[in-house]
Structure 1
Amino acid sequence: MTKQFAVIGMGRFGSSLSAELFKDGAEVLVIDKNEKRIQENSDFSTHAVVADTTDERVIKELGLRNMDVVVVAIGDDIQASILTVMILKELGAKQVIAKAVTNQHAKVLTQVGADRVVLPERETGIRIAKNLLSPNVLDFIELSDEYKIEEIVASSFMIGKSLRELDIRAKYQLSVIAIKSNGKMNISPFPDDTINPGDTLVVLGEKKLLKKFETKTEKALFII
């Protein structure tokens, strides 16, 4: 089922996040009080709405509590950011991720119920979008337009098997260049190295092939 996201606040952070989610096939509702910002982002979203999310009725009418994730990316009005998060959580929103502009703002957002708080200086919208779409992908490095490296959490179908048994290179045309286990990095692992619970695979390959592999590991994650 296609994931549904709402992104509130169409500044630079919210715009890059929503565009990346939309590009990867998610349903994205974008919201901002500024009509010009909504017009600029309407082509990179499923729905675009001019609205004030500090009004509880607006949040109810837009059905935000039914979204898989709501991202509060309001950066120019701290009070509106905090009120929006508070109302969303009071109405039962499943997962609320909020942008903070200062460390103190981050603390308050956590106190009013935000499930995750991000500081844009530390995390880009594109990186967070990637994590939302593929929760098992912890991090990634773009090598070129076609290739990248991803850190992928070991799924249930991998546990207890060796790299030889998984045969990721032959089945998915991807290269496991390292395994993180108990905080230690095993560079250039051997074919007989076994995957343990909690391990992370560092995988190199074409983006389209990594995407297929992500789908496989996500399905396995939900089985655990």
Structure 2
Amino acid sequence: MKSILIIGLGRFGTHLCMNLSKLNNEIMIVDECEERLEDLLPYVTSAKIGDCTNIKVLESLGVSNFDLCIVCIGNNFQNSLEVTSLLKDLGAKHIVSKANRDIHAKFLLRNGADEVIFPDRDIAEKLAVSLSADEVFDYINLADGYSIYEIAPLAEWIGKSARSLNFRTKYNLSIIGIKHGTSTQILPDADYVFGKEDHLMVLGHQRDMDKIIHHK
């Protein structure tokens, strides 16, 4: 559980708040619009109406006491940049700022952000991957060209195990988990026999993954 300050409650900030609450984090939210705060009151420990470009408002929040400060201002980059910079000046431990463009990310990182996120771009990328290939259920892009895909087993894998397929050597990929219904098996035994309803979590380089996801 972490103590988290969320500044800005547009669509992204609202959904982020609700999901962080489900994970039992302690959340404080701040926005200039009272109506945006009201719907989220059941999910948070505290809420405040205020303009966080005003340093006195930020000072009143005790930003250095939070494990994480998230700037979700999406429609005014100048305000996002100012708030990010002020949070750093006030001793915020870790600042995550939302960006819409690469150039915005560069300025945010130079002015106090420890991490920058691109929710719109990331969602579009994941959707593009899942729509472009058969039976891709989820996708996580890692560093240096590596990714994790959640995929259905190929027809020729069903009824066979990773060992019998010589999976790692043949495909240059690693199976790090298998979902079956509501259960998940992490680092499954090499003798696990793949079923038609299984979802395989496969880790590997994109060039090797492409041979699998576009196989059908």
Q: Distance in 1 between matches of 2:40 and 2:122?
A: 21
Instruction: Tell me whether 1:105 sits opposite 2:104 in the alignment.
Output: yes
CA 1:42 to 1:105, structure 2 compared with 1: closer, same or farther past 3 Å?
Answer: same
Give the letter aligned to residue 9 of structure 1: G
> Alpha-carbon deviation of 1:58?
1.5
Aligned-pair RMSD on alpha carbons? 3.0
SS of aligned partner of 1:10: coil
Instruction: Tell me whether 1:116 sits opposite 2:100 in the alignment.
Output: no
Instruction: Tell me whether 1:69 sits opposite 2:57 in the alignment.
Output: no
State the 4+ residue runs in structure 1 displaced beyond 6 angstroms. 148-151, 205-210
Extract unaligned runs of 5+ from structure 1.
125-142, 152-179, 188-200, 211-224
Q: Distance in 1 between matches of 2:94 and 2:180?
A: 31
> Alpha-carbon deviation of 1:77?
1.5
Per chain length, whose mean CA-contact separation is higher, i.e. which structure has more relative contact order (CA < 8 Å, sep 6+)? 1
Give the letter aligned to residue 174 of structure 2: N
Give the letter aligned to residue 29 of structure 2: V
SS of aligned partner of 1:122: helix
| Pick aligned residue for 1:185 from 159, 170, 173 | 173
Give the letter aligned to residue 95 of structure 1: H
Q: Distance in 2 between matches of 1:47 and 1:207?
A: 34
Q: Distance in 2 between matches of 1:102 and 1:63?
A: 30
Q: Distance in 1 between matches of 2:16 and 2:56?
A: 25
CA 1:91 to 1:23, structure 2 compared with 1: closer, same or farther past 3 Å?
Answer: same
CA 1:150 to 1:99, structure 2 compared with 1: closer, same or farther past 3 Å?
Answer: closer
Structure 2 matches for 1:1-224, cutoff 5 A? 2-123=1-122, 185-187=173-175, 201-202=176-177, 204=179
> Alpha-carbon deviation of 1:7?
0.7
| TM-score using structure 1 length | 0.57
Give the letter aligned to residue 118 of structure 1: I
Give the letter aligned to residue 72 of structure 2: A
Give the letter aligned to residue 93 of structure 2: K
Write out per-residue CA displacement over residues 11-69 of structure 1, whole angstroms, 9 at most, x where no aligned residue. Answer: 00000111101111110111101111111222222211111111122112111121011
Percent identity at matched positions?
33
CA contact (8 A) 2:5 2:69 kept: yes
Extract unaligned runs of 5+ from structure 2.
124-136, 142-167, 186-216
Give the letter aligned to residue 30 of structure 1: I
Which protein is bigger by CA-based radius of gyration?
2
The alignment of Structure 1 onto Structure 2 pairs a total of residues equal to: 146
SS of aligned partner of 2:121: coil
Give the letter aligned to residue 90 of structure 1: D
CA 1:204 to 1:118, structure 2 compared with 1: closer, same or farther past 3 Å?
Answer: same
Q: Distance in 1 between matches of 2:107 and 2:62?
A: 25
CA 1:114 to 1:209, structure 2 compared with 1: closer, same or farther past 3 Å?
Answer: same
| TM-score using structure 2 length | 0.59
Write out per-residue CA displacement over residues 115-140 of structure 1, whole angstroms, 9 at most, x where no aligned residue. Answer: 1111121346xxxxxxxxxxxxxxxx
